[in-house]
Chains A and B, each alone.
Chain A
Amino acid sequence: MSDPLARLIGELARLPGIGPKTATRLAHHLLKVAPAEAQALASAVLEVKEKLFHCSACNAITPVDPCRWCTDERRDRARICVVEEPFNIEPVERTGEYHGLYHVLLGALSPHRGIGPDRLAIPALLERLAGIEEVIVATNPNVEGEATALYLARVLKPRGLKVTRLAFGMPVGGDIEYTDEVTLGRSLAGRREM
């Protein structure tokens, strides 16, 4: 195997979710494509690194600092929605139901992977709490997201803030018959009066 090819495979294999076999397949695909196509990919990668960065306030990915969510004066500045990763912001935005600020933790608490609170952007969150009335914790509904939410609640509640968590439950259009017991149990626990 020639060195440039081995180097490309090695670099591709470092990407999340890409194993050596997939990296090899991708590398051989890139060998086959027209030079312009490979060039477009390479320049797109470089452009992302040159023109996008984390917002210094909320950690969202942005071409300008602070980001558009942090600078938009029309947004509700009494609420802040905490998410794990920058790409979690768009799904919340798409709901059209939320108009407050965001804060990206850049991960979730995961003891057996060695990720503790010190690896998350929690100090930056604590610095942004002036004027905030409610912190909406929108971490993922898995053990890591739940641990992060519970940790944040323990840290934030003593500061007199309202801390809320996204509801768990059945998907819209779902069917009770086909809902697993854990999800249905969570739905029951989180039921609300009508």
Chain B
Amino acid sequence: MSLITSEALILDVLDLHDRDRIVTFLTREHGKKKGVAKGARTKHSRFAGQLQPLAKVEITWFEQEGRDLGRLSSVEMVRPAHRLQADLEGLLLGSYLADHLLEMAQDNEPSDLFFRLLDATLEALLADVDRDLAARYFEVWMLRLAGVFPPPHECPACGRPLTGPVVLPPAGETLLCADCGGEAPGGLAVRPETLELLRRIGRLSLPKAAEVPTAPAALRQLEEVAARIRRNFLQRELRSYGVIQATRAGL
């Protein structure tokens, strides 16, 4: 049995039995981990308010070889996320960000880039960066880090630079120039401002990318582009995506 301490971002907290909780968290060195917080549901638990989804914490846990679940020993708050979770839109966005990592981060494998992406996105959101842009930035970078977001620079079919109109084929696996992808039925014609936003996201940090005003139409189309690529990669949609759309529609 080993005792490990690491900085972590909490992704999910689930009740277990009458007294305990299962905590899913992301670390740089150990990837996605799960641990039981004994007594976390009780009134005077030492974990109390520390186990908040998306909080950045310093976490110590016991790990036994061959066991999926560790046992949390202590959790110290580094950066709470409750400012983001003070309104419904913030809560929905937080759940959406966490869902990406719950689905795409690997258990027990170093996840420094995923950790840095979520950490930087949360940091920017807590500093009141535009939430819509933050969501698009996060989606695109998650897919890039997973190795599935096509580079927006040259057509993979003909090798020419993507300077003119660009097409995302229906299956959403790559970005093609209009000559190579123009005939694909159901393809998405990606507008120049969307492509420009995509390149800006690839080049700049989120706070820097937010310094330039972004057209809502470009944000909406980039959301669609990312959703198609993600569905192609996962072969289904994230559960949170549909729920968030339905929740907004009901208001």
Contacts and interface: CB of A to CB of B under 8 A. Distances in A.
Contact of A185 (B82, B94, B98, B102): B82
Contact of A171 (B44, B50, B95, B251): B44
A182 B52 contact: yes
B12 interface: yes
B96 interface: yes
Contact of B243 (A114, A146, A179): A114
A112 B95 contact: yes
Contacts of B217: none
A22 to B, nearest CB: 9
B12 to A, nearest CB: 7
B203 interface: no
A182 B80 contact: yes
Interface stretch (B83-91, B149-157, B208-216): B83-91
B247 A116 contact: yes
Interface string A21-60: 0000000000000000000000000000000000000000
A184 B178 CA distance: 57
A190 B98 CA distance: 28
A112 B247 contact: no
A66 interface: no
A110 B247 CA distance: 11
Given A112-B102, A181-B77, A143 B50 contact: no
B239 A112 contact: yes
B238 to A, nearest CB: 8
Given A112-B12, A142-B13, A117 B92 contact: no
Interface in B93-143: 94-96, 98-99, 102
A115 B53 CA distance: 17
On chain A, which size bracket covers the interface?
A: 20 to 34
Interface stretch (A70-78, A96-104, A129-137, A149-157): A149-157
Contact of A147 (B12, B52, B92, B99): B92
Contact of A117 (B80, B95, B246): B246
Interface of A is mostly: helix
Contacts of B251: 151, 154-155
A117 B250 contact: yes
A94 B58 CA distance: 38
Interface string A141-178: 01100110011001100000000000000010010000
B88 A180 contact: no
Contacts of B250: 117-118, 155
Interface in A95-127: 109-118
Interface of B is mostly: helix
Contact of B247 (A113, A117, A146, A179): A117
Contacts of B240: 111-112, 114
B16 A147 contact: no
Contacts of B148: none
A150 B88 contact: yes
A114 B239 contact: yes
A115 B80 CA distance: 25
Contacts of B50: 180, 182
Given A110-B95, A181-B77, A185-B80, 17 more contacts: A111-B95, A111-B243, A111-B247, A112-B12, A112-B238, A113-B239, A116-B243, A116-B246, A142-B13, A143-B52, A143-B53, A143-B95, A147-B95, A180-B50, A182-B48, A183-B49, A185-B82
21 contacts: A109-B247, A110-B243, A111-B95, A111-B239, A111-B247, A112-B98, A112-B99, A114-B239, A116-B243, A117-B250, A118-B250, A143-B85, A143-B94, A147-B92, A147-B95, A151-B251, A180-B48, A181-B49, A182-B77, A183-B48, A185-B82
Instruction: Enumerate the 6 nearest inter-chain pairs by beta-carbon distance, A residue then B residue, closest first.
Output: A182-B49, A111-B240, A114-B239, A112-B99, A116-B243, A150-B88
Interface of B: 12-13, 15-17, 43-44, 48-50, 52-53, 55, 77, 80, 82, 85, 87-88, 91-92, 94-96, 98-99, 102, 238-240, 242-244, 246-247, 250-251
